[in-house]
Amino acid sequence: MQSEGKVSVPNESGSKVAIMVPFISELIQNPGDNYDEFVKQTAAYEAHYKAQGRKPFSVMGATIEDFYDVLADPSIPSMVVTGWGNMSSIAAPFAKDRNEDARYGYLDWLHFSDRATHVKLGDFVMLQCGGFNKPFNPPLPLGIVSSHANILGTPGVAHYAAQSLEGELLPPAITTSRELSYDEIKQQYPLRRDRALPIVPESMVPAGVYTAARDLFNRHLNTGMPDIPAPEPMPRPNLTDFRQYVDLDVA
């Protein structure tokens, strides 16, 4: 898209910053991840960007459609995303009124890339969890930013990332590379095997089997986990532009 001139407005004074907050109360596992904390954090980001002469706007309870609207709006060069997810995805509700529709789903890097009508020229700040939960863990905005060096976040932090910043409002850039290759993503963000396995050595278990078994354990057998409702399945788009990633490993 960038080579075709399909880009956002420049990332400069007076430009917009979308602060997306898809708060889902059922996903709270840490008492500190409450709604008031999200509101406080959002206000801090608004103040930060206003001091820079930018025009921030917040979308509390951001739905899947809210994300799609921002991804398709070239007047917005920068985004901040906070909530529950992992390195490659973010949980978002289907509707604003969750009393009428309590469903939610995970938007991942392919959904973002599929809905983007242009490349964002500004920063993309990832404040969702940065866990490496799958065999392939590309950053969420892989296909929507002009440079991967414009992605800020805390890769590998498997909890609400805003609480790990230790007083720093903006996390660091995740890379200095303009474009991360498949091999670089696999090397820098490998599947994190954080559960001891009985009987067989962990290295003998294929990544896909390990991931499925871990999810099954957490969903049905781990009594220490809260009763979290299952997300709605989100159909994966088939993107020709990302064949170098999709053909190799999209699990």
pLDDT score recorded for residue 203: 58
Q: Quote the pTM value.
A: 0.85
**Pick from 82, 187, 183, 194: nearest CA to 131:** 194
Number of structural domains found in the chain:
1
Rounded to whole angstroms, how far apart are CA atoms 105 and 95?
11
- Is 217 contained in some domain? yes
Distances (CA, A) of 33 to 23, 28, 75, 157: 10, 6, 31, 15
String of b and e for 84-119 (b: at least 16 CB within 10 Å)?
Answer: bbbbbbbbbbeeeebeeeeebbbbbbbbbbbbbebb
pLDDT for position 26:
87
Nearest to 90 by CA among 41, 24, 37: 24
What does the pLDDT profile of the chain (251 residues) look like in tens digits?
Answer: 776 789 999 999 999 999 999 999 888 877 778 898 899 889 999 999 999 999 999 999 999 999 999 999 999 999 999 999 999 999 999 999 988 899 999 999 999 999 999 999 999 999 988 888 888 899 999 999 999 999 999 888 766 555 545 567 888 999 999 999 999 999 999 887 655 555 455 555 555 555 555 555 555 555 555 567 888 988 888 766 676 666 555 44
Exposure string of 159-177, with b = 16+ CB inside 10 Å and e = fewer, is bbbbeeeeeeeebeebbee
List the strands of the sheet with 78-81, edge to edge: 55-60, 16-21, 78-81, 124-126, 151-152
Residue 82 to residues 15, 18, 198, 220, Cα–Cα distance (Å): 20, 11, 36, 27
Q: Is residue 233 part of a domain?
A: yes
Give the CA diameter of the chain: 59
Please report whether residue 211 resides in a domain.
yes
Domain that holds residue 197: 2-246
In a domain, 251, yes or no: no
> Which residues have C-beta within 8 Å of that of residue 182, sequence separation ≥ 6?
244, 245, 248, 249
At 88 the pLDDT is 93
